[in-house]
Chains A and B, each alone.
Chain A
């Protein structure tokens, strides 16, 4: 008997069968016009039990297992298959299975797409014949829908669907507008003295006294731990302190763990001296003899600064001066981490008192160090710089004083704008919750 290869599972089945004897997939789309696929030469073999039916004459009758195509000798399991004996005439006629999806292509990716029928019996190799029983209509529809989903190939869209642009939301834009308005008010209103002096936080007085005690002409080691990104705040905070140092003719040996740190220090020193920010200036070179040293390696090389400072600065000890002239260490940092690292990695070795000049955000983290005595002075934020400036006998130049006042005023407006944003944010949350309810 002629056998065919199932396009789904590749198994051989009788050419007259409408369904594959292995996987049960429908082989012929149309009952009447179906052309059997490529047939191969008939191979002797034993018939096997399957849910296969006669295709032409008795589509509803279950083919006798003995009349079905047999497995070839080379097919897997062929040797184990026993011929099934049975009398087809005794079997009740099975209902004719409908052609469910005549236009559907068989997909090789989906396994075991059976017709929605219920098969009773022992299956292949059994002596009993297999009866094909119809399923209830509800189950049939469900299984047909499932088969449709599994049989269709996924469609790849050539382009993603274009979503309609959302209308611009003004909910968060007003936050930016409010901040800009606050800054505009701060910088455009005529400058006036502050109505009240800034709060003198603890540490400012101590920092001033520490620097005031240093003999004029001494050397001081400085860690410059901020770069141009935070120079907008830190330059103004550090300016009164640096100007104080310049007035006392104190020489600074600047080291930095940031590549841009020495350059920022150079600029601020030039600004404090009223000079152009170029190291060609003799006065600036005198105030900054080491020129600023960048130490690669981060905080891990700080212990070297405490243990072997000339080697760390790559300068001969004679040029730097004896260790005794270093009476104070100054740390200019935008963050508290840099000050903490100096206190932990350097101060235990050299024992120098440390004064920190930091941004306002670092103040809470460094205040415990001030209380414990590890820090000898702390100047933080614009108000700290203003308080330090008030302690100095010599005021800043008019332009610098005006700039410091301007930024302090901007801080006032900015803080009030931020508080307004926070309060309005809570109100917006209440309103949104009320609308949702």
Chain B
């Protein structure tokens, strides 16, 4: 691609980005109600792009795993299972007029997908507990704060201890979370959001 064309495309991309940014920002302020007719199709385009991205992702996964099976790469058996499952579930939804509401798809979800997802997510508690065991220690740097915060919050969240804890303990724990903790967290969130804005602007201007 020639340098001139690349520069032209960069300016065009920046211009489109700035145009959409200004239009959507003005629409959100509510100063120009007529912009709503222009902004709604933009969101519809985003919806379509999202749907296309989902389909593209599925095709990409199938394509890469098909190549793995053809090449006999390590673990090609798992790729074959994935492809077969993909074809079966796709066919089950395609052949039934009810689509995603077909009984076979519902069985797939209720019997395989839901229990599998729940099982994987349930393992998280063991990893988190082991991590808390190693990190939330008084001797470690910052560990005392972690330990104190976790113990205070856990005790307040335990239903069985409500009658044993002092009066006002739950309120104190609530204040602790709503006040100092949220102040620190919001500072981090604002900083992260500002950083994201800077990155987006730099990417739009081609200065990444």
Inter-chain contacts of A381 with B (CB < 8 A)? 157
**Are the C-beta atoms of B162 and A421 separated by less than 8 Å?**
no
B20 vs chain A, min Cβ distance (A) = 11
**Are the C-beta atoms of B132 and A421 separated by less than 8 Å?**
yes
**Are the C-beta atoms of B101 and A279 separated by less than 8 Å?**
yes
Inter-chain contacts of B50 with A (CB < 8 A)? 295-298, 300-301
B185's nearest neighbour on chain A, judged by CB, is A365
**Are the C-beta atoms of A303 and B43 separated by less than 8 Å?**
yes
List chain A positions with a Cβ less than 8 A from chain B: 172, 175-176, 179, 194-199, 201, 227-232, 259-260, 262-264, 266-267, 277-280, 291, 295-298, 300-301, 303-304, 307-308, 311-312, 348, 360, 364-365, 367-368, 371, 381-383, 386, 408-409, 411-412, 414-416, 418-419, 421-426, 428-430, 433
**Are the C-beta atoms of A231 and B114 separated by less than 8 Å?**
yes
Q: Which of the residues B40, B43, B106, B118 comes within 8 Å of A277, measured between beta carbons?
A: B106
**Are the C-beta atoms of A304 and B101 separated by less than 8 Å?**
no
**Are the C-beta atoms of A415 and B126 separated by less than 8 Å?**
no
The distance in angstroms between the C-alpha atoms of A414 and B100, with both chains bound, is: 38
Q: Which of the residues A229, A262, A297 comes within 8 Å of B117, measured between beta carbons?
A: A229
List chain B positions with a Cβ less than 8 A from chain A: 28, 36, 39-40, 43-44, 46-47, 49-51, 53-54, 98, 100-101, 103, 106, 109-110, 113-118, 120-122, 125-126, 129-130, 132-134, 136-140, 143, 147, 150-151, 154-163, 170, 174, 177-178, 181-182, 185
**Are the C-beta atoms of B163 and A195 separated by less than 8 Å?**
yes
A302's nearest neighbour on chain B, judged by CB, is B43
Inter-chain contacts of B114 with A (CB < 8 A)? 228, 231, 260, 263-264, 267
**Are the C-beta atoms of B103 and A280 separated by less than 8 Å?**
yes
Known A175-B130, A307-B36: A196·B47 in contact at CB below 8 Å: no
A–B Cβ pairs within 8 angstroms, 21 of them? A172-B134, A175-B133, A176-B126, A196-B160, A198-B159, A199-B170, A228-B109, A228-B113, A228-B114, A259-B54, A267-B114, A278-B106, A301-B47, A308-B40, A364-B178, A365-B182, A383-B157, A409-B160, A425-B137, A426-B147, A428-B133
Known A382-B159, A411-B159, A429-B137: A296·B47 in contact at CB below 8 Å: yes
The distance in angstroms between the C-alpha atoms of A409 and B160, with both chains bound, is: 8
A264's nearest neighbour on chain B, judged by CB, is B114
**Are the C-beta atoms of A418 and B157 separated by less than 8 Å?**
no
Inter-chain contacts of A230 with B (CB < 8 A)? 121
Q: Which of the residues B109, B126, B177 comes within 8 Å of A263, measured between beta carbons?
A: B109
Can you name 17 extra interface pairs (CB under 8 A) apart from A179-B126, A232-B122, A264-B114? A172-B130, A176-B129, A198-B162, A199-B170, A228-B116, A231-B118, A296-B54, A297-B49, A297-B51, A304-B47, A383-B159, A411-B159, A412-B161, A414-B125, A422-B133, A424-B133, A428-B137
**Are the C-beta atoms of B98 and A279 separated by less than 8 Å?**
yes
Known A228-B117, A301-B47: A307·B159 in contact at CB below 8 Å: no
**Are the C-beta atoms of A311 and B44 separated by less than 8 Å?**
yes
B169 vs chain A, min Cβ distance (A) = 10
Inter-chain contacts of B177 with A (CB < 8 A)? 364, 367
**Are the C-beta atoms of A279 and B133 separated by less than 8 Å?**
no
A395 vs chain B, min Cβ distance (A) = 18
The distance in angstroms between the C-alpha atoms of A367 and B179, with both chains bound, is: 11
The distance in angstroms between the C-alpha atoms of A279 and B110, with both chains bound, is: 13
**Are the C-beta atoms of B159 and A199 separated by less than 8 Å?**
yes
The distance in angstroms between the C-alpha atoms of A231 and B28, with both chains bound, is: 34
Inter-chain contacts of B140 with A (CB < 8 A)? 429
Inter-chain contacts of A365 with B (CB < 8 A)? 182, 185
**Are the C-beta atoms of A421 and B155 separated by less than 8 Å?**
no
The distance in angstroms between the C-alpha atoms of A317 and B160, with both chains bound, is: 49
